Amino acid sequence: MGWDQLAAELWTKIAGDCDKDGVRALCSPEMPQHIRDSARPVQFRDLKFRAYNIWDDLDLSNVDSNQYPSSLIEMQERSRQRFTELPLSPMVRHVRHWQYIGHLPPEQPMNPDVDSEPESVQENMKKTFLRTYADAMWPLFRASLPRYVGLTELELTNVVINDATVTSVNTLGNLRTLKIINCIVPRLTVFLRPFDHLTEYIQQEEHTTFRVELMMAVCSTLTSLTIGAGKYHWRELYSALEQCQVLQELVIEFFEVEEVAFERPPPEAHLAITACPRLNDYTGPAYYAADIITGRPVHTIRLIQLPDGAEEDPECIEWIREHFTKGTVPVLVFDGSRWPAYACAEEAFPTIFHEFPDLSSLRIVIEAFVLTDEVNLRDEDERERYKRWHYLNILHILSGPLPYEIPPTLETLELVTDVNYNEHPTHNFDEVVAALRNSANFANLQTLVVGTNDCFQTWTRLEPGVWNVVQEGDGFDFDGEGREYYSDSEDTSDDQGNITEEEEASIDT
C-alpha cells in the first residue's frame, strides 16, 4: 500500500505530530484531496491574533502619508474576513485554542509636567494605526466567539473585559482553560458563569485591580489558579480561595515592589481551614505564604520575592519556620529568590535543609557580594567579606564538611546569582563546580544548575561519576569578570595612602 493510501484518521494523527510548516505542506494543493481534508482540521486547531503584528506589515519609511490609511484598511479587511468568514465555515468546529492579543492605550504619566522624550511622526502614526486597528478587530472577534463550540482554551490579552465579552465567553460550554491577562475589568462588569469543565483560570488585570466577582462562579472546578493581587486584596483573595475545593496549584503575581520583613495580612484576615483542601503547589509572595500553606498539603513552595530585609534579620530562621513549615505534608520543592550570600551560608541553607528533610529540589537565587565603588579591598574586613561571601565560595562551602546534613532525597540543586560576579582571588568556577558535583554531601544529586540567571550550566548525571553539561546564554566568563584583587602584601597607593589615577583606572578595567 502506497503512502497516499493511508487511512484518513492516520493522516490526521500524522498532521497532529507535525509543526506548522509540516501541516501547511499537507494542506497544499499538491497533496491528494483526502490528505488535505484530513490535515485541515489540525491547521485550524490553534489560532492566534496579535494586534501588534500590524507594525511588521506597515512600512512607513518610503510611503507618502496619504497612503497610510489605505494600507491600514487593506490589513483591516483581511482580518475582518478572518473574524467573520471562519466562524461560518465547517472548520470552526475544529478550533480548540484561541489566543487574542489586543491593544490597550498606555497609561498617562503621573506628572504631566514632566518632559518626556518626543516621538517621531512615524512612531505617533504607528501607534494611532495600531489603536484604530485593534479597536476595529476586537468587537468582531468578541461577537464571533459563540460560534467556536469546540473551543477548550481561550486566552485574552490587552483587551477590555466588559459585559459583551463576558456574555460571549459564557456561551463556550467546553472551556477547560480561560486566561485573562493584562486586561481592564470595569467595576460593574457581569460575572462569569460556572463551567463544567473549566480547570485552569488566570486573571491578571491592568492597573493593579482585582475584580474577584468576575471569577467567583468558576472557582469550584479549578485545579490551577493564577491571579494578580496586592497586600490590600486579602479579602478578595481569601473569598475566592474559600470557593476552591479542588484547587491544586495557586500562583499569586504580587503587585508590591517590596515586602516588609515578616509582614502578614492583618489579624482580621482569616482564611477558612476548609479552603483549598487539596492545594499542593504555591507560587507567590511570602506575605500570603503562612496563611495559605498552614494546614494544607503544600509540598511545592516557590517564592517570587523575599520581604525586604527579612533575610538579614536575626529572626530569619524563625520566619522560615513560621511561613513555610506548617503544611500537612513534607516540603519536596523549595524555590527562593535573591538571598544574600551570607544569609544563605549561615541561616538559609542550614534551616532549609533541617526543616525540609525530604527535600528533592532546591533553587536559590544568591545575591552575591560583588565589587562596587563603595567596596574598599584595602580594608581587611572588607576583603574577608568579599572572599567569604563570593558566589564561588558559597559553592565551595557546600562541597566541603558541613555542620548540618543535606537531605539524601535531594536530586535537583539550582544555585545561580542575580548578577554577574567578579573574580575570586583563589577559586575558579570549574574546580568549584566539579567539587560540588562529586561531593559526598550530594550523593544522590541528579541535576545541578550553576552560573547566573542569564548565563548558566545545567549538569545532569548520566551514571555514577559521569555528567553531561548544557550551557545556556553566553557572553559571561564563569570565573567572574576581571577586576584586580588587592592582596595583603600589595601596596599600590601613593605616600599618602591614596590610589593614583593610573592605578584607579586599572581597578575598573
Q: Domain ranges in the chain?
A: 3-43, 45-105+121-222, 348-509
Q: Which of 299, 289, 291, 295 is nearest to 361 (CA)?
A: 299
Nearest-angstrom CA–CA distance, 174 and 151: 6
Report whether 47 contacts 20 (CB < 8 A).
no
Residue 363 confidence class, pLDDT cut points 50, 70, 90: very high
Which tens digits make up the pLDDT trace of 146-185?
A: 999 999 999 999 999 999 999 999 999 999 999 999 999 9
Q: For residue 196, count CB atoms less than 10 angstroms from its CB and return exposed for 0-12, middle for 13-18, buried for 19 or more.
A: exposed
Nearest-angstrom CA–CA distance, 5 and 10: 10
- The helix or strand, by DSSP H or E, that contains position 237, with its residue range, turns out to be helix 234-241
Q: Which of 378, 397, 455 is nearest to 421 (CA)?
A: 455
**Residue % of the chain over a pLDDT of 90:** 47
Q: Among 67-81, 132-146, 179-193, 325-339, name the one with the lowest average pLDDT.
A: 67-81
Which tens digits make up the pLDDT trace of 296-330?
A: 999 999 988 665 555 455 566 777 888 889 999 99
- Is 419 a residue whose pLDDT tops 70? yes
- Is 189 a residue whose pLDDT tops 90? yes
Q: What's the pLDDT score for residue 275?
A: 98
- In SS3 terms, 416-454 reads as EECCCCECCCCCCHHHHHHHHHCCHHHCCCCEEEEEECC
Q: What's the pLDDT score for residue 341?
A: 77
- DSSP bridge partners of 481: 422
Q: Which has the higher per-residue pLDDT, 339 or 165? A: 165
Which tens digits make up the pLDDT trace of 469-496?
A: 999 988 788 887 655 444 443 434 344 4
**283-288 average pLDDT score:** 91
Q: For residue 509, count CB atoms less than 10 angstroms from its CB and return exposed for 0-12, middle for 13-18, buried for 19 or more.
A: exposed
Report whether 16 contacts 44 (CB < 8 A).
no
